[in-house]
Amino acid sequence: DGGITQSPKYLFRKEGQNVTLSCEQNLNHDAMYWYRQDPGQGLRLIYYSQIVNDFQKGDIAEGYSVSREKKESFPLTVTSAQKNPTAFYLCATRLLAGGRYEQFFGPGTRLTVL
Amino acid sequence: GENVEQHPSTLSVQEGDSAVIKCTYSDSASNYFPWYKQELGKRPQLIIDIRSNVGEKKDQRIAVTLNKTAKHFSLHITETQPEDSAVYFCAASLSIAGGYQKVTFGTGTKLQVIP
């Protein structure tokens, strides 16, 4: 867990602006994920990536974009097309080798749209 | 797709009593079931998990049971302590192409342990 960093911790955005949330890991994990968490709801998958330069849409990808140019980094851009972006965003990683299934989470970024 | 239902949404117990949280899942191909504890404003932390070839797993005061036939699994916390107060999430995970695990989370249970 200490090997996953997310920045910033808090982010405020005006309507119509794009913002990028950072996720960095030094665990040498292959897979990285972005989840969105809203009050009273579980975690919902936005995007995931298993290898560099490849990523797939999750259940709620509309209004979001990602890139995976390096194994260590998986930034998430919240675009102006996302109608209700205020939420807690969590990045997670997973080691694919060895049949291990555990996901490890970063500390999260709380995004508020003003 | 997979659907995970979690009950209850809130649970209050007296310190020292047991707490049970139940989840059901819809896809019989799900093969991994983790439980996460999330304290207010913090990241979810894995507390216990179970694979589909196991019916029960225990770690000190925490245990998880899995009934594959009925497609439900439960978290049991015994001798609860105030520090157990948190939101608990269950999840069901399914292996799909390329080694990817698609994880579906329940909606969470807010556990309050009353001293």
- Count of Cβ atoms closer than 10 Å to residue A26 Cβ: 11
Q: Tell me, yes or no, if A101 comes closer than 8 A to chain B by beta carbon.
A: yes
The contacts of residue B1 (CB under 8 Å, 6+ apart) are A59, B27, B104
**Rounded average pLDDT over A53-61:** 93
In angstroms, the CA B64 to CA B12 distance is 19
Alpha carbon of B28: minimum distance to chain A alpha carbons (Å): 17
Alpha carbon of A28: minimum distance to chain B alpha carbons (Å): 17
* Res B2 pLDDT > 80: yes
Q: Tell me, yes or no, if A31 comes closer than 8 A to chain B by beta carbon.
A: yes
Instruction: Give the number of beta-carbon pairs within 8 Å between A and B.
Output: 55
Alpha carbon of B92: minimum distance to chain A alpha carbons (Å): 11
* Res A2 pLDDT > 70: no
User: Is B49–A102 a contact, with Cβ atoms under 8 angstroms apart?
Assistant: yes
Candidates B1, B43, B89; nearest CB to A108: B43
Strands, DSSP E only, in A3-86?
4-7, 10-13, 19-25, 31-37, 43-51, 54-57, 64-66, 76-78
**Rounded average pLDDT over A91-95:** 92
pLDDT in tens, B21-59: 999 999 999 999 999 999 988 899 999 999 988 899 999
pLDDT in tens, A65-78: 999 999 999 999 99
pLDDT in tens, B56-99: 999 999 999 999 999 999 999 999 999 999 999 999 998 877 77
